[in-house]
Amino acid sequence: MKKIKTNLHYFEISKANPEKLLDDFYVFDRRNPDLDKYIQNTKEIKDILTTIRTMENKKEDVVIIDKYFFELQKTIGKYSNCSEFGCFINACDNIIGGVKNEVNVLKEISKRYFEKRILNENVPEEWIQALLDNNSSRKKGKCGENKLIRILELNGIKEVGDWRDFSITDFCVLRFSKKINLKSARQNLKVRIKTKKQNKTLDLIIKIKENIFICEAKHLNTSGGGQDKQISELIEIVGLRESSGISYIAFLDGKYSNVLLGIGGLGDKINKQRQEIAKCLNQNPDNYWVNTAGFEALIKDLKN
């Protein structure tokens, strides 16, 4: 096996090769495959609401009107969260699933909807797609893991699903999960993983022959309170040390990775984060802080 270089070498590679402006692993730009279902459901909701409002204006029998409320209950569901009425349910401190099972709440929200909003027949495709686009950030949870696993696969390192396969395979990667949790990792790898949050789950365990790396992956595009907390968690990871010889990888991509690695970005906070990263890397030569390019270089050197 080719001898890998120092952690500062891969850190410098990361600094010299910033993240792309747009990374396909985090971009969801195609037309939603279920868009027609969202459109049809939105139209059905509007038709029923229009009928209810018309019947109430005409003082129709409550029993008859209730039949349409029950029909509305059946109609709202999986594809209703991008309808105007579905969004209004959220504005009324409720969720679609709850209202679906409480007709009295549905009636009260409908009454408010008629008073506070405009009900029209139009169902613009671009508006529903825009709402779906706006919710796309929720899909990013496992994107970082998927990206790293793809890089590993391209280098002949396959994903396995349990500790048995991990133990008998020289080149593999294992995801943390409910089954592959911190307790089982500590038992099987003989490690402490002594973070401030004792139950904090990491992301991947990478095995390349005798080398084992525990990896935490994050994707950040902006700075702020929540993001600062995530940077602190990554810094803590590269500050860990195991007597078993197992190493840690802190992986960060996204626009904020570029800022943190020195591409723009000034201020006491960023300088302090940079100093903490450098200190941890110097004190823990077997741990790594990398972006995409740094990770690719590290894995290539380990594999060759």
Per-domain boundaries in the chain = 7-26+141-303, 35-136
Q: What is the rounded CA–CA span in Å between residue 46 and residue 31?
A: 23
Under 8 Å CB-to-CB from 181, ≥6 apart: which residues? 201
Name the pTM for this structure: 0.86
> What is the arithmetic mean of pLDDT over 217-244?
89
Q: How confident is the model at residue 224 (pLDDT cuts 50, 70, 90)?
A: low
In which band, very low, low, confident or very high, does the pLDDT at 197 lie, cut at 50, 70 and 90?
A: confident
Euclidean distance between CA atoms 71 and 168, whole angstroms: 56
In this predicted structure, the answer to whether residue 50 has a pLDDT above a threshold of 90 is yes
What is the reported pLDDT for 1? 41
Helix, strand, coil % over all residues of the chain, rounded to 5: 55, 10, 35
For residue 193, the number of C-alpha atoms closer than 13 Å in the C-beta half-sphere is 25
Give the total residue count for the chain: 304
Contact 235, 280 (CB under 8 A): yes
If one compares 109 and 4, the residue with the highest pLDDT of the two is 109
The SS3 of residue 161 is coil
- Sheet with 211-219, strands from edge to edge, namely 158-160, 171-175, 204-208, 211-219, 247-253, 288-290
* Percent over 70 (pLDDT), the chain: 96
Do residues 136 and 31 make contact, with C-beta atoms less than 8 angstroms apart?
no
